Amino acid sequence: MMGRHGVLQSVIISAAILLAVPAGALNRTPTRAQTLALDRFRATEGSSWRASWDDNTGTIRSLFAGDGRQLALWQTDHPAAARSFVESYADLIGLRTGLDNLEVYYERGTSRGYQVRLRQLYQGLPVIGGEYALSVGSGGTLRMFTGQFFPDIALSPTPAIRPSAAERVALHELPRFTLDGSVPSRLVVYTEREPYRLAYEIHLRRGDLPYVAYVDAQAAMVIDFYCAAPRYSGSGNVVLGCNTRPVVTRTLERLDGPVGGVWHLTGQSSPATPSFMMITSPR
């Protein structure tokens, strides 16, 4: 999709690594099943592979510095090769049959290799911030697998309100905003803080600036919103945010997330010591 989504996607993709960090998440460690799965991964893919774990979710954060075995199916179908890889190591990631999925949504190739990105779905619903990226060499050899997965989501996928009702809630609580009719509202799993919630993602505008609001699909209230305008900060970092805070006149106390927050992308990565571009917004 072009327009604002195309701009936002290009900002995120150019960062190379996307990790969403939920506020207030508890420190977790990998399960016994996951550590055994890592042993199986190394036995199959090569003993030199190194791994890092996400302290917030206890799931695999990165696999890197490995032997670079060619991905099965890569020569004929890149998305199928990526899907086959994650299905082969579903226990390492934490995928549950019938509940969780990783869906290929982006592929980009250069003379030096490819990047394939997969987004997390829970019972078919997008999970905000859940995604992985595969970095693949030009010959189809896996270089790195990195990202974030939200495990053990347990939500009913059935909302209590319709999208139109959620849009009315957003406009009532944020009266100086208008609905951006070019982007349909969608049902998602909101993961910025625990407990995770079923929510509608609603795109708004205030003047020329785009905003995103999240409305709890059960409680019918705004739980978070942010300015989605990408720009460059004075330090050269890419940020999602506005120079000024929006004016909100009603029920501000019901917002349990930052208003008009600025979201930074920082960091570098290398095969030896990966540190990751971080984006602490829902996208």
Mind giving me the DSSP string for 185-197? -EEEEE-SBSSPE
From the first residue on, what is the mean pLDDT of each consecutive set of 10 residues in the chain (283 residues)? 38 36 59 93 94 93 90 94 96 96 94 93 97 93 95 96 98 96 96 94 94 97 88 54 43 32 32 30 33
Which two tokens mark 155?
């939500």
Residue 80 φ/ψ, nearest 5 degrees: -65, -35
The pLDDT, as a whole number, for residue 193 is 87
Q: Where are the beta strands (DSSP E) in the chain?
A: 50-53, 60-64, 100-110, 113-122, 125-137, 142-148, 178-179, 186-190, 197-206, 209-216, 222-227, 230-232, 238-240, 263-265
How far is the C-alpha of 69 from the C-alpha of 76, rounded, in Å?
Answer: 16
- The two tokens of residue 211 are 């905003």
How far is Cα 56 from Cα 34, in angstroms, rounded to an integer? Answer: 15
- Residue 20 vs residues 23, 149, 172, 187, 218: alpha-carbon distances, Å: 9, 9, 28, 18, 23
Q: How many CB atoms lie within 10 A of CB 6?
A: 10
So what's the pLDDT on residue 173?
Answer: 96
| Extents of the domains making up the chain | 23-149, 163-263
pLDDT, position 105: 95
Token duo for residue 175: 């009266």
Count other Cβ atoms within 10 Å, centred on residue 53: 17
- Say if residues 64 and 48 touch (Cβ distance below 8 Å): no
**Sequence-distant (≥ 6) Cβ neighbours of residue 100 within 8 angstroms:** 94, 120, 121, 122, 153
Q: Which pLDDT score, from 0 to 100, does residue 182 have?
A: 94
Tokens 């849009």 correspond to 167
